[in-house]
């Protein structure tokens, strides 16, 4: 349930931000609240509350067999609900059809959107939860419907306060006036599963949010899930889907049932606070475990506004970073980050609330997801098809070549403009047809992950229509691939950077450049946007490569530098030999000591030097003038090596200027840097010796 934060504007409150009121006895509050209008869900589905105590207890945990057993003994209730749902939606779709026939769809659009919201409220929590899942996608939902569905996040009619206060007393075993010195006479906010009151604890004086569960909610949701599971089975057979749709429903239902047990939500909140509460500009309220039961939850009260309404792009970036940590670092993630659950506190922090719907992302799937993002960005669609097998989206028996061809057609245009312009929503939309054709299966865990990312992008789009969540997440993915100690990710990095033994400097350059964008501190955002200070670039790369986390990349760089310096020595020897032969009459043309591999190593060496120096513009102009890096270039090896040598003085000058940064490094990193020349020298001697032996004996 979303809103545990006191809104700063009356438009967000229900019906207005209530003031705390002192009540010496609970009963006057109850009598005053008894006149509240009964909510439409209770009116329409009240018969569902007539379950026995044994039946209600059996629904504490999700079990399709137990749910089926209960309602098998209540066929009239099941039939009545089927008729209720069918006729309710049937009438609405019928009216929409008539609007189309009478050509008044546009005029009636807002009216029908409001009617749909009322229908969902009447049908209850299961349908509200489904609607909330799509209400955060302004790029997919028409504005009128979006406005109405967004009200389902915290603007639902509350149930009786008399019932709520009775529930609190029954669950906690104390009178209201013994628990609280003050409590709001009306709920601050109401949602599908419960509603929130603001109160002050009598013992400590702390202001808290008290969440009380809506009566009969488990019975209602259980019945609707039973119906949805049946429909999922019918759709799977009729559409010949490879995905087990009932398993997807079960995963969602299991998460929903855990959300209805506030003790589990409290445990989730404490774990979430422990893992992510220390991140910069992230706030996670504390849970009061002493006053939390299955149907009542008490937690710290926080002042703030909805993130979607303040349009704070910096906090959106903080949210992306926090989501990266949730999904790809710890695997424990918030599976319901809709706008009602993300707030900007008045001191400028991103607050997470409502920890009922959480997900677990296993290590092997996290690594598979990272690899899939890498291969997508680098357009390695053959490897991407294998990633889909790892993630469980494709069976191992799938025809890889056909899948690769299809994925190339789907994603080629999406990634053509670069990683920063890839839309997560577009990727999902374009993938739909291909998934159906090749009988993709959606693992039950994956639906919550996809929903979490899609909702996050939807929130971001409301602040910035051009925002791309994958483009903002990729820097963290690049940084993780470069620094992670996982053997699988190291192997992926090796495969990404080398093809047929050739080092692909452009991919390392891309990874390093993107990883430097992985910042959240406000002071660094300005540096990130300017991207013009070569000293900053060089210093960042030095810090990274000299630390323990950068050891794997450091080994690759030292090896490539050794190859490059070796090739540079040969190029210098070629140049001196060429000069000598031109000055000595009657001598033939000089013989080059350089092989094709040496020329490639020399170009790679210069690219590395330019990368470290941050000379992107110089590198571009240099390559445009000399044609270096163009596979179709027919210039002679001599022209290439002479061009490279002529450029060397300017490059050396830039690198020497960068060396002034070294004293700014911590002592331990300076010591690590001093050890590099010896290591580099050993590799050079090894290469020279191997080449000499090869030329003597071969």
Note the pLDDT tens digit of each residue in 421-437.
777 666 666 666 677 67
User: Which secondary-structure segment (H or E) carries 482?
Assistant: helix 469-483
Q: Give the residue, 221 or 17, on which the prediction is more confident.
A: 221
* pLDDT class of 276 with cuts at 50, 70, 90: very high
Q: pLDDT category, 447, cuts 50, 70, 90?
A: low
User: Higher model confidence: residue 416 or residue 391?
Assistant: 391
d(CA 285, CA 277): 9
Rounded to the nearest 10 degrees, what angle do helices 161-172 and 26-33 cross at?
150
For residues 533 and 538, give the distance between their C-alpha atoms in angstroms, rounded to a whole number: 9
pLDDT of residue 196: 93
Torsion of CA 121, 127, 130, 136, to 10 degrees: -10
The Cα–Cα gap between 514 and 533 comes to 16
- What pLDDT, on the 0 to 100 scale, is given for residue 295? 93
- Using CA atoms, how far apart are residues 320 and 373, in angstroms rounded to an integer? 15
Residue 576 has pLDDT above 60, yes or no: yes
The predicted model gives 166-174 an average pLDDT of: 94
Of 3.40.50, 1.10.4100, 2.50.20, 3.30.200, which CATH number belongs to 160-213+261-301?
A: 3.30.200
When pLDDT is averaged across residues 483-503 and rounded to a whole number, the result is 85
CB-based contacts of 15, cutoff 8 Å, min separation 6? 186
Rounded Cα distance, 37 and 115, in Å: 20
Cα–Cα dist 644/596, whole Å = 15
175, pLDDT greater than 80: yes
% of the chain residues with pLDDT over 90: 15
Mean pLDDT of 544-551: 82
Burial 5-32 (b: 16+ CB within 10 A, else e): bbbbeeebbbeeebebeebeebeebbee
pLDDT above 90 for 199: yes
Which of 306-315, 356-365, 430-439, 646-655 has the least mean pLDDT?
Answer: 646-655
- Cα distance between residue 110 and residue 527, in whole Å: 45
pLDDT digits (tens, 9 = 90+) for 593-628: 778 888 888 888 877 777 766 544 444 433 433 344
pLDDT of residue 23: 38
The confidence band for 646, taking pLDDT boundaries of 50, 70 and 90, is low
Q: Is the pLDDT of residue 91 over 70?
A: yes
Give me the residue label for tokens 């569902």: 48
Give the contacts of 614 (CB within 8 A, at least 6 positions apart). 533, 534, 535, 536, 537, 538
**What is the rounded average pLDDT of the residues 634-643?**
43
**pLDDT (tens digit per residue) in 467-478:** 777 777 888 888
Question: How far is the C-alpha of 251 from the C-alpha of 432, rounded, in Å?
Answer: 21
Please state the rounded mean pLDDT for residues 132-145.
Answer: 61
- pLDDT recorded at residue 571: 81
pLDDT 10s digits, 245-275: 788 788 888 888 988 999 999 999 999 999 9
Q: In Å, how far are 216, 222, 257, 578, 610 from 61, measured between CA atoms?
A: 15, 10, 6, 83, 60
> What pLDDT, on the 0 to 100 scale, is given for residue 110?
84
Greater confidence (320 vs 32) lies with 320
Mean pLDDT of 329-338: 82
Highest mean pLDDT of the ranges 324-328, 394-398, 651-655: 324-328
Q: How confident is the model at residue 642 (pLDDT cuts 50, 70, 90)?
A: very low
Tokens of 497: 């950077």
Could you tell me the pLDDT band of residue 240, with boundaries at 50, 70 and 90?
low
- Cβ neighbours of residue 122 closer than 8 Å, sequence gap 6 or more: 40, 41, 43, 44, 88
Largest CA distance in the chain: 117
CA distance 593 to 695: 11
pLDDT at 457 over 70: yes
pLDDT band of residue 418 (cuts 50, 70, 90) is: confident
- Please answer whether residues 673 and 680 qualify as being in contact, where contact means their C-beta atoms are separated by less than 8 angstroms: no
Assigned token pair, 302: 């926080």
How many other C-beta atoms lie within 10 A of the C-beta of residue 117? 22
Q: Can you give the pLDDT at residue 638?
A: 41
How high is the pLDDT of residue 231? 86
The whole-number pLDDT of residue 432 equals: 64
336, 354, 484, 566: which one is catalytic?
336
- Asked whether residue 370 carries a pLDDT value surpassing 70, the answer given is yes
> Averaged over 54-79, what is the pLDDT?
87
Q: What are phi and psi of 109, to 5 degrees?
A: -60, -50
pLDDT tier, 487 (very low <50, low <70, confident <90, very high otherwise): confident
The whole-angstrom separation of Cα 467 and Cα 416 is: 17
514 pLDDT band, cuts 50/70/90, is confident
Query: CATH 3.30.200 region(s) of the chain?
Result: 160-213+261-301
Known catalytic residue at 598: no
pLDDT at 8: 34
In the predicted structure, residue 565 carries a pLDDT above the cut 90: no
More confident residue, 286 or 444: 286
Mean of pLDDT values over 169-184: 94
Q: Cα 227 to the chain's mean position, in Å?
A: 31
pLDDT of residue 651: 53
Cβ atoms of 653 and 531 within 8 Å: the answer is: no
Question: Which residue has better confidence, 212 or 140?
Answer: 212
Question: Mean pLDDT throughout 671-680?
Answer: 85
Q: Which of 155, 308, 293 is nearest to 213 (CA)?
A: 293
Q: Report residue 673 as tokens.
A: 């840097």
pLDDT over threshold 50, residue 578: yes
| Model pLDDT for residues 214-225, shown as the tens digit of each residue | 888 888 889 999
pLDDT one-digit tens code per residue, 98-129 = 988 888 888 888 888 888 888 888 888 888 88
Question: How would DSSP label each residue in 624-674?
Answer: HHHTTT-TT----HHHHHHHHHHHHHHHHHHHHHHGGGGGGS-HHHHHHHH
The whole-number pLDDT of residue 187 equals: 92
Tokens of 45: 């589905």
What's the CA gap between 146 and 104, in Å, rounded? 20
Q: Does the model's pTM come out above 0.85?
A: no
Q: Nearest-CA neighbor of 623 among 604, 598, 596? A: 604
For 464, the token pair is: 């910035």
User: What is residue 327's predicted lDDT score, i.e. its pLDDT?
Assistant: 83
Average pLDDT of the chain, as a whole number: 76
Owner of token pair 């899942």: 133
Query: In terms of Cα–Cα distance, which of 283, 498, 280 is closest to 378?
Result: 498
């Amino acid at each position: 349930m979303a809103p545990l934060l006191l809104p700063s504007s009356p438009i967000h409150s229900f019906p207005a931000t209530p003031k705390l009121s002192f009540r010496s006895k609970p009963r006057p509050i109850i009598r005053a609240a008894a006149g509240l209008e009964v909510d439409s869900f209770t009116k329409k589905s009240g018969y569902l509350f007539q379950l026995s105590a044994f039946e209600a207890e059996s629904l504490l945990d999700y079990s399709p067999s137990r749910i089926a057993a209960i309602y098998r003994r209540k066929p009239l209730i099941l039939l009545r609900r089927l008729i209720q749902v069918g006729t309710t939606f049937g009438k609405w779709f019928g009216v929409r059809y008539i609007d189309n026939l009478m050509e008044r769809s546009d005029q009636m659009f807002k009216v029908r959107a409001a009617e749909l919201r009322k229908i969902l409220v009447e049908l209850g929590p299961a349908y509200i939860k489904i609607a909330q899942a799509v209400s955060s996608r302004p790029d997919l939902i028409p504005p009128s419907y979006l406005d109405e569905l967004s009200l389902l996040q915290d603007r639902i009619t509350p149930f009786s306060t008399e019932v709520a206060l009775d529930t609190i007393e029954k669950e906690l075993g104390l009178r209201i006036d013994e628990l609280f010195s003050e409590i709001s006479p009306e709920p601050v906010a109401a949602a599908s599963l419960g509603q929130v009151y603001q109160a002050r604890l009598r013992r400590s004086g702390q202001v808290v949010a008290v969440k009380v569960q809506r009566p009969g909610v488990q019975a209602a949701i259980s019945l609707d899930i039973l119906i949805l599971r049946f429909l999922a089975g019918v759709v799977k057979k009729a559409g010949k889907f490879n995905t087990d749709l009932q398993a997807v429903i079960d995963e969602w239902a299991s998460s929903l049932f855990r959300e209805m047990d506030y003790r589990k939500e409290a445990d989730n909140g404490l774990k979430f606070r422990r893992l992510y509460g220390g991140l910069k500009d992230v706030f996670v309220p504390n849970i009061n475990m002493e006053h939390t039961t299955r149907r009542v939850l008490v937690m710290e009260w926080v002042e703030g506004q909805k993130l979607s309404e303040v349009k704070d792009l910096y906090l959106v970036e903080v949210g992306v970073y926090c989501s990266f940590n949730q999904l790809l670092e710890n695997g424990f993630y918030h599976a319901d980050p809709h706008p009602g659950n993300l707030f900007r506190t008045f001191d400028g922090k991103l607050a997470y609330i409502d920890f009922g719907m959480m997900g677990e992302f296993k290590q092997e799937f996290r690594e598979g997801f990272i690899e899939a993002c890498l291969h997508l960005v680098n357009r390695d669609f053959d490897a991407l098809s294998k990633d889909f097998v790892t993630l469980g989206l494709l069976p191992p028996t799938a025809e890889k070549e056909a899948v690769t061809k299809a994925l190339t057609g789907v994603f080629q245009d999406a990634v053509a403009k670069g990683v920063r312009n890839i839309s997560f929503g577009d990727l999902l939309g374009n993938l739909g047809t291909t998934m159906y054709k090749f009988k993709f299966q959606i693992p039950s865990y994956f639906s919550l992950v996809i929903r979490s990312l899609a909702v996050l992008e939807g929130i971001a789009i409301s602040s910035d229509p051009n925002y791309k969540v994958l483009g903002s997440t990729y820097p963290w993915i690049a940084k993780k691939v470069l620094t992670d100690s996982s053997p699988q990710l190291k192997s992926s990095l090796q495969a990404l950077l080398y093809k047929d033994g050739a080092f692909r400097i452009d991919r390392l350059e891309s990874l390093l450049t993107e990883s430097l964008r992985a910042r959240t501190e406000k002071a660094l955002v300005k540096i990130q946007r300017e991207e013009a200070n070569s000293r900053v670039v060089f210093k960042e790369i030095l810090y990274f490569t000299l630390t323990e986390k950068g050891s794997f990349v450091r080994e690759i760089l030292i090896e490539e530098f050794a190859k490059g310096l070796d090739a540079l020595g040969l190029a210098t020897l070629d140049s001196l030999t060429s000069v000598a032969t031109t000055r000595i009459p009657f001598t033939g043309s000089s013989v080059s000591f350089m092989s094709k591999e040496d020329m490639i190593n020399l170009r790679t060496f210069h690219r590395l030097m330019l990368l470290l120096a941050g000379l992107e513009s110089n590198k571009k102009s240099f390559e445009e003038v000399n044609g270096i890096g163009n596979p179709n270039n027919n210039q002679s090896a001599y022209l290439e090596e002479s061009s490279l040598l002529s450029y060397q003085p300017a490059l050396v000058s830039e690198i020497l200027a960068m060396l002034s940064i070294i004293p700014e490094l911590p002592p331990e990193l300076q010591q690590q840097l001093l050890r590099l020349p010896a290591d580099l020298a050993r590799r050079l001697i090894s290469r020279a010796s191997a080449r000499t032996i090869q030329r003597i004996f071969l």
